[in-house]
Amino acid sequence: MYGQQHSLFHTHHKTGECTDIYQAANDTGFTMFPNDMTSAQSEMYFKGKEEEFFPLPFLPSHTPQDTARDSLELREHNFFTGLLATVTTSQQRQEAEVPVWQVFPSTEPSSLLERWDVSSNAKEQDRVIKRGMRNYGHGRSVHLWEFVRDLLLNPAENCGVLKWEDRKEGVFRVVHSHTFAQLWGKRKSNSGMNYEKLSRALRHYYKSGILEHVGRRLTYKFGAKASGWQDSGFQ
DNA sequence: TCGATCTTTCCTGGTT
DNA sequence: TAACCAGGAAAGATCG
């Protein structure tokens, strides 16, 4: 049902080798989702020491065929960001300069992807991805204020936990403090996160000017050092 | 490896 | 009484 096969070739910028990326993806247990693949994405390289990555939309090939809810979310999310990696100095292929193509899941999988338990060797995939991405300054751990900003700018994933009080002034209110802390804890893989700790982290931003003190309960305001909250959002 | 920065954790005391 | 706020202190995590 997913990943109708198209021929889409990608030329390695060093070796010049052409690879059918859908085939490469399927070889590793994932199915490319063709609708959103663009030539721009296929040309997006990040150069690292040992691996080269570029982001791709993909879906796990073993998607569950179950609930309507999943189908709905699939349409909403459209695709997940994955990484197609060429491992040119891989231990697996030391004898050759031939790239080994592998598709890895995003290090920040969407909610749907998390439920799908994408791979049995996800730990190893994550390790390689993180190592590769560090080289590009891409995929660094998100800052709390950026997480807050993105929630506000993306109501579809906000779940109603945050709400703009004064969009123009950057004033927002925490509607569901417990859920808000849970979301942050989930993002940081920290099950011990609660609103007490989260709010302390937010208060640290007063000093740096990322947030400003408002004086109302559960209400915060973006400061001069915060950027991007003026954007219209992702929709 | 190290220092800077950010985040977490714990805490006391105050307010709503 | 519970939930929240303010901020000090220190430790842990991350990054360049």
- Report if residue A112 sits inside a domain: no
Q: What is the pTM (predicted TM-score) of this model?
A: 0.51
- Report if residue A34 sits inside a domain: no
CA-to-C1' distance for A156 and C9, Å?
38
pLDDT value for A199: 93
- Report if residue A193 sits inside a domain: yes
pLDDT value for A20: 56
pLDDT value for A190: 86
- Report if residue A194 sits inside a domain: yes
- Report if residue A121 sits inside a domain: no
- Report if residue A190 sits inside a domain: yes
- Report if residue A173 sits inside a domain: yes
Residue A46 makes CB contacts below 8 A (sequence gap 6+) with A52, A53, A54, A132, A133, A135, A136, A138
Protein contacts on strand C: list nucleotides below 7 Å from a Cβ.
Answer: 3-9, 14-16
Residue A174, nucleotide of least CA–C1' distance? C4
Total number of domains constituting chain A:
1
pLDDT value for A132: 37
pLDDT value for A174: 92
Splitting chain A (235 residues) into consecutive groups of 10 residues, what average pLDDT does each group show?
38 48 51 34 31 42 35 33 41 39 40 31 41 36 86 78 90 90 86 91 91 90 87 49
pLDDT value for A201: 93
Domain that holds residue A194: 141-222
Protein contacts on strand B: list nucleotides below 7 Å from a Cβ.
Answer: 6-11, 16
Residue A141, nucleotide of least CA–C1' distance? C14
What CATH number does the domain containing A189 carry? 1.10.10.10
- Report if residue A38 sits inside a domain: no
CA-to-C1' distance for A123 and C5, Å?
40
